[in-house]
Amino acid sequence: MRAEAYQQVDNRLAEEPVYEMKSGAEMIIECLKREGVDVIFGYPGGAVIPIYDALYDSGLKHVLSRHEQGAIHAADGYARSTGKVGVVIGTSGPGATNLVTGITNAYMDSIPLVVLTGQVPTSYIGTDAFQEADITGITMPITKHNYLVQRTQDLPKILKEAFYIARSGRPGPVLIDIPKDISYDVAPFYYPESVSIPSYQPTIEPNPSQVMKVAKTIEQAKRPLILAGGGVISSGAETELLQFVEKMQIPVTTTLMGLGGFPASHPLWLGMPGMHGTVTANRAIQNADLLISLGARFDDRVTGKIERFAPKAKIVHVDIDPAEVGKIIPTQLPLVGDIKHVLVQLMKKTSPGDTIEWIEQLQQWKKEKPLRYKDSKDGIKAQYVIEQLSNYTKGDAIISTDVGQHQMWTAQYYKFEKARTLLTSGGLGTMGFGLPAAVGAQVGHPDQKVVCISGDGSIQMNIQELATIVQQKLPLKIIILNNSYLGMVRQWQQIFHDCRYSCTFMTGPDFVKLAEAYGMLGIRAVKKEEVTEVLEQGMKHNGPVIMEFMVEEEENVFPFVPPGASLDEMIEGE
């Protein structure tokens, strides 16, 4: 009997799979490979030394930033421009807290990131140990989900879930906090093939009866308008949007996050709406009888005074996140689902309505009220520089921006023809985003022109990443529109505070010499006649370059809807 019992045990053991033993750090690297990750952005430190040791001969590319905020914005720029999940590593304590702005930035703009942070050993947690910070507690409201890993054998399942959560439904950042002993400990490695999270089931296909209701409403509308947001781009629905618009003959306005989701050269595109939107786009919203929002969340910069937003329109709100539908603007027809899937269903069920008269009216407004600025004979207007860049690239470049006047002028005067070609901080408005985001985009697109447009204020917030650019041999083009002010704040001080320019004038370094100090080309234009020559020289240069343009100091961004005012109350400017 004893021999039979031993044989049964042997047989059972033979049937069970034999899992390879790996350290936690080795598991992390193996999981990243299995998720198709080819590049990681990060900054090493004590709590992540075992992960960096496993990374050493892994074959994965690592981009060493000069600050953790630079690393996470680079991962963000990589994700926005490629459509993949960006991965970033930071150590415990200050390394993790330095990632917080970047995590919030990605959360506000629905960008998929997996953020790996080191933590002090499990036995030290809660003791105020050296470089200890409760990063899961800190990031709970700014992540789609986060984890504090308690057992090494749980790492594969957690990483599998993290990538699934980050990229599915409404994308967003997921943080995994990994104590140092968890990275060192050894356990059997098993990577699950699939993920099942009962409490997280994004709705992809729209409700058929709601689709029919929306289709009938579109057919009956005389003045329909599509408001396309970032959801169009994250869904990959730009082709379906173009087909739908051309079939139904419905004009389109794209939010800041939606720029590039519909070609700027198309006659049915009206420009960007909202605070610095075009007159035609804002008038269209205020006069439409049907507003179809696709993947937009009615940000206050778009709506202005909510009570007077789109007063004549029935609202159709399409979004993959049901929490957004009807949150800001009362919605008559909600439709939850992935934008691409929704548009495919709507195209099957909808017939074109009569919109000829409406389109003629909008075309008339476009002729009467184009974007304009008072040009200068000798001085350089920032708008002119961006127009010349747009003409030079013809939309065939990836553009990153920082935040401020230059961001709005870029949205207004650069013609975005393709999705994922504008990288900008929409929701959080993060100065210092543009330069590292461009690093990530250039890493993801090594053969494409990548241009960072910044101001002399914003560029200095993460200027240390110039060293990253040089070390990585990235041929980035950096345009600095230097007006010696924090321009947007100064503009508000001029208009609302009687020109009391409190603490907005600023001096900066000699950017040409700074470029040379970092090992890149630096060139400058101080007169209008020099703009084209500097742009051509910089854009044709094989390596990284800073192009500094000394623009007029007190130029303002128009049109301008004052905060709290309705879209009808826009200031059109000179």
Just list the catalytic residues: 68, 130-131, 180, 488
Biggest CA–CA distance in the chain, Å, is: 103
The Cα–Cα gap between 523 and 544 comes to 11
Question: Can you read off the two tokens belonging to residue 191?
Answer: 């990577």
The Cα–Cα gap between 455 and 405 comes to 8
Helices (H), 313-472: 339-349, 356-368, 382-393, 405-413, 434-444, 466-471
The Cα–Cα gap between 115 and 88 comes to 5
The residues, ordered by sequence, that sit 6+ positions from 281 with a Cβ below 8 Å of its Cβ are 253, 270, 271, 272, 273, 274
The closest alpha carbon to 319, from 511, 473, 171, 148, belongs to: 171
The Cα–Cα gap between 344 and 244 comes to 8
Three-state DSSP class for 571?
strand
The Cα–Cα gap between 167 and 190 comes to 22
Q: Indicate left, alpha or beta for 550 from its phi (over 0: left) and psi (-120 to 50: alpha).
A: beta
Indicate the helix (H) or strand (E) that contains 207: none
Three-state DSSP class for 303?
helix
The Cα–Cα gap between 442 and 77 comes to 9
| Residue type at position 42 | G
Give phi and psi for 177, each to the nearest 5: -100, 125
Query: Contact, 68 vs 99, CB < 8 A?
Result: yes
Distance between start and end Cα atoms, the chain:
99
Q: Residue 49, class by beta-carbon neighbours within 10 Å (0-12 exposed, 13-18 middle, 19+ buried)?
A: middle
Residue 396 neighbours by CB distance under 10 Å: 11
Query: Contact, 396 vs 365, CB < 8 A?
Result: no
The Cα–Cα gap between 220 and 385 comes to 44
SS (H, E, C) 382-393: HHHHHHHHHHHH
Three-state DSSP class for 144?
coil
Question: Can you read off the two tokens belonging to residue 434?
Answer: 């543009």
**Residues paired with 546 in a beta bridge:** 478, 522
Indicate the helix (H) or strand (E) that contains 4: helix 2-15
Place of tokens 């000069």: 66
Q: Residue 17, class by beta-carbon neighbours within 10 Å (0-12 exposed, 13-18 middle, 19+ buried)?
A: exposed
